[in-house]
Structure 1
């Protein structure tokens, strides 16, 4: 239920939103009142989830598309130097705080969803690679894998036919955390104005821009904040249940 509500609103909500008109700011008009530029909060809530949820999912997908192969290369490397070449640059990126990366990007990069996806992927890939590599190292050292090598199996088949299925529980558990982390970074990017315009219909932007009217129209801040929290908690609960199964 926690995951279903924000997901349904994010997917279906924009279909029920027309052209949003502007009026007086922070007045009790409509169901949830108006925001800092006089737009109907309910319409913004219905139309503001697709960007937050969508970008978080796309960024997570990009992170896995890049991180999992790198982790497999490092874990299955038979030469120590190859593991070092993969992991040491990632350690440097991992040492830089994610919010610092967002602040730097906000000052030099063009605003847009593509920028946010790239930044989130760059920030999350190093940690993902370390987690998957740690799980895959034990699998890569098993006698069964060595026997498959001697039988002439290709590296691709060994990696994706044996190692990946063996570490699948770790991947599933990490996926829930990774989506939540991506959502946090996407929301932070919205606060900093990296991904969307300062007055965009976006849950993260709504939380940030409507703080001045928190005691006038609290729904303009509380409702999108609760939807973001529900999405984060719901994702982790779903993947925790998947791991147990």
Structure 2
């Protein structure tokens, strides 16, 4: 079940800033390429701190992604490699975060969903399936909501880096029980999620809000539910 509902912490980089990271960059870029690299990393630092932290923690792999992008011009492949990097490093780290910092994610997640519902409802479907092609920077309200999410998830990521063991997880049966019994998600709604074409944007926003209505989840399970749903590999 949880495989369907991954929320990827690392989002697409699509803006430029002015902070220089030349000291970190290996000698694999031309002067122009290094300027683009530095500016793109600056954009992540300013607009999506969680992205920045993961990329900086794994700078050699980040540089390799940009090297391939400059060589091929394939932006879609580069974005996918960033998402793959998140799956490889960020998700296990987030799964080790404290219960407190994990539970703190519910509020910004719900904020993003509410903003998407109003400003970009097609994004709710992507949010449910972890298929991120959402440009948060084309709307200031979306940008602010995503920054709130990224700032909070950075705290979760930082917590996970301090721990060596994955936090408490739920079994598939426990997860299903919470979805059905506590969150009121029907079997019919769960079946709809197996086929993207079977669910409207409006239904996707409504269901996304349901999945993260943490007030209806027993407090003792809130961290484990989110950790299992989002970060468990």
TM value normalised by structure 1: 0.29
More helix per residue: 1
Larger radius of gyration: 1
